[in-house]
Amino acid sequence: MCGRTCMTLAPEQVKCSCKYKTKEDKESEPKYRNEYNLGRKYCNLNLPDPSYNSAPGDICQIIVSAKNFDDNADSSERVLIPALWGIVPKWHKGDYRKHGLTTNNARLEKLTSSKLYNPALESGRRCILVIEGFYEWQTVDSKLKSSQRPVYFIQMPQGESKAKDEIKLMFVAGLFDVWNDADGDSLYSFTVITYESDKHFDWLHHRTPAILETEDQISDWLDYERIPSKEALNVIKHPKSIVWYQVSNYVNSTKNKLEQCRKPIEDVKAESNKKNSLLSWINKRKNSEDDKNVTKLEDLEENSSKRLKQE
């Protein structure tokens, strides 16, 4: 399953991190199309504080074949677009948020028989969700309440540098579609493909998002003209290089968007202990000052009483 992701980069940064080789063996980067999407905006477009916690219903960044927009384009060329997480069925009428279906994930095993997803698959509307990683709650052998389950951040192996332009991104296979409202305005939306976990991941969750680890996988999945749909499904393999670490349950709420969502739980606990120690020191100092003030007041009252008796 994949129900929460992290992506803090602006579109220009995403483009730079998604460079690829063209058929002419030249380095290129995806072109960016800032789709209107009924006025919905990508959360990290202009905000100074990026979101570390994206959920279904949010606008994310996906890569698609340029041929989906231009019949004269080469199907190997790539375009980066903002899209709503959770496919809106083409047949839906009315408010796009009220179609009543859960469409943020699509099961690989049922793609070809699905009335919702197979048309997108057969039409070449394959996409890749670009993220820094995703969050997963341990559901296997867990007797805890959902709000108490351990949660992990899963990502690709990272280098020592923490610079944003050196982040190793994760690429997840999906499908996208275009929905039009009554006025003819378009909304791009997508779903993430998942499948049964293997022994590398099944200790955490029984479903795994379709992570593409190599450039060949990415190229084959996006280039729908060169690789037909049935062959493309064979591109999806269980990931072998993903890594993870536990984070705090602060990420449980979709309202929480701060960096604390992605911090290792050890760091969160250390910061909490440090904060508690500081508060404890402040309270002790305050109590000490209060005691001194009480003593001074008692001394003043005692001296005043003595003077009155002398008078």
Q: What is the pLDDT of residue 159?
A: 83
Q: What is the pLDDT of residue 47?
A: 59
Q: Give yes or no: residues 170 and 285 share one domain.
A: no
- Identify the residue whose tokens are 């793609």: 111
Q: Could you report the per-residue pLDDT of 196-212, keeping only the tens digit for each? A: 999 999 999 999 999 99
Last residue of a domain, one of 242, 263, 284: 263
261 is catalytic: no
Per-residue DSSP letter, 48: S
Q: Give yes or no: residues 253 and 270 share one domain.
A: no
Helix and strand tally (H, E) in the chain? 5, 15
Q: Give yes or no: residues 273 and 259 share one domain.
A: no
Q: Give yes or no: residues 232 and 296 share one domain.
A: no
Measured CA to CA, the distance from residue 78 to residue 233 in angstroms comes to: 19
136 is catalytic: yes
Pick out the chain residues at pLDDT < 50.
Answer: none
Supply the CATH number for residue 94's domain. 3.90.1680.10
Number of domains in the chain: 2
From the list 2, 43, 60, 127, the catalytic residue is 2
Q: Give yes or no: residues 143 and 75 share one domain.
A: yes
Neighbours of 42 (CB within 10 A): 23
Measured CA to CA, the distance from residue 11 to residue 149 in angstroms comes to: 33
Q: 208 phi and psi, to 5 degrees?
A: -130, 135
Query: Cα-Cα-Cα-Cα dihedral of 8, 10, 16, 20, to 10°?
Result: 80
Q: What is the pLDDT of residue 37?
A: 96
Q: What is the pLDDT of residue 276?
A: 65
Residues 6+ apart with CB under 8 A from 55: 3, 4, 85, 254
Helix (H, G, I), strand (E, B) or coil at 148: helix
Q: Give yes or no: residues 258 and 300 share one domain.
A: no
Q: Give yes or no: residues 42 and 159 share one domain.
A: yes
Last residue of a domain, one of 245, 263, 281: 263
Q: Could you report the per-residue pLDDT of 153-187, keeping only the tens digit for each? A: 999 999 877 677 678 999 999 999 999 999 999 99
Q: What is the pLDDT of residue 161?
A: 72
Q: What is the pLDDT of residue 140?
A: 86
Q: Give yes or no: residues 289 and 250 share one domain.
A: no
Q: What is the pLDDT of residue 295?
A: 63
From the list 27, 136, 160, 196, the catalytic residue is 136
Q: What is the pLDDT of residue 289?
A: 66
Q: Could you report the per-residue pLDDT of 118-159, keeping only the tens digit for each? A: 999 999 999 999 999 999 999 987 788 888 999 999 999 998
Measuring CA to CA, which residue among 174, 77, 73, 191 is closest to residue 128?
174
Domain span including residue 289 = 264-311
Q: Give yes or no: residues 195 and 97 share one domain.
A: yes
What does the block give as tokens for 201?
């991941």
Q: Give yes or no: residues 177 and 277 share one domain.
A: no
Per-residue DSSP letter, 139: -
